[in-house]
Amino acid sequence: MQKHIPNFITLLNLFSGCVATVFAVLNQLEYAAFFVALGIFFDFFDGLAARLLNVKSDLGLQLDSLADMVTSGLVPGIVMFQLLGLSQMGGWNNDILNSMTYLGDFQLRSFIPFTGFIITLASAYRLAKFNLDENQVSSFIGLPTPANALLILSLPLILFYHSNNILSEIILNQWFLISLTLLSAFLLNCNIPLFALKFKNWSFKDNALRYIFLIISLVLLLTMQFLAIPFIILFYVLSSVVTNLSSSMK
């Protein structure tokens, strides 16, 4: 019975991703972000449960990637599609979302919104590589799909909760969104080692970087709320790069 617990948690991740997909298609991006966050929560705990119960399996590995493909691969692509569609309409205001459940025909007049699905393609490629790579145990090569999903899903949340003209103009600039899409695809599949939030023990000495990252992330979230998410992802990448460079110089 125990061996099925992690897989059940993984399926909760997949279910959350399915619900998030529906909300993303309907342009209810706030709800989509909530269910993606819920799915990532389950994604963290399925691996933790597998390690605690010592029931890791090849089936669990494949199932985990399939769930991530929906929650952290498909949904961010749809969200970027919607944001690029909004950028084609010339700006952001809450009346647009209150009066329209989706952008519909307007988006289909241009190919540009479909470039958002580059994120989905890059996520699929990364997850396929991850399943074949036996070295990504204590660290990752490239940005994990859940971290990338949080980065993309933070954009509509910033528009909702930190709305001002400057931020709106930046986020809903089509060239900013296209550039972020390409950067996202690069980070997902780049050959940069990034630390994983996996604790083998609770020692500060052995997990100093992880503890520092979590503390700084918490402070940023408390002070900046959703606006903190892009800075946390940036800090995650930069701290990993600096740590790798300092280790190679020793």
Domains and their CATH numbers in the chain = 2-196 (1.20.120)
236 versus 249: which is more confidently predicted?
236
User: Helix, strand or coil for residue 140?
Assistant: strand
Model confidence at 5, in pLDDT bands (50, 70, 90)? Answer: confident
Contacts for 1-8: CB closer than 8 Å, 24+ residues apart: 2/53, 2/55, 3/53, 3/55, 3/57, 5/49, 5/53, 5/55, 6/46, 6/47, 6/49, 6/50, 6/53, 6/55, 6/56, 6/60, 7/46, 7/59, 7/60, 7/63
Q: According to the model, what pLDDT value does residue 246 have?
A: 72
Residue length of the chain:
250
CA–CA gap between residue 36 and residue 33 (Å, rounded):
5
Does the pLDDT value for residue 91 go beyond 60? no
Q: According to the model, what pLDDT value does residue 44 have?
A: 86
Q: What is the pLDDT of residues 39-57, one digit of tens each?
A: 999 988 877 777 777 777 7
Contacts of 149 (CB under 8 A, 6+ apart): 36, 40, 71, 72, 73, 75, 76
CA–CA gap between residue 219 and residue 236 (Å, rounded):
14
Q: What is the mean pLDDT of the chain?
A: 85
Q: What is the pLDDT of residues 103-152, one digit of tens each?
A: 555 555 678 899 999 999 999 999 999 888 766 666 788 999 999 999 99
* Mean pLDDT for the stretch of residues 234-243: 89
178 versus 85: which is more confidently predicted?
178
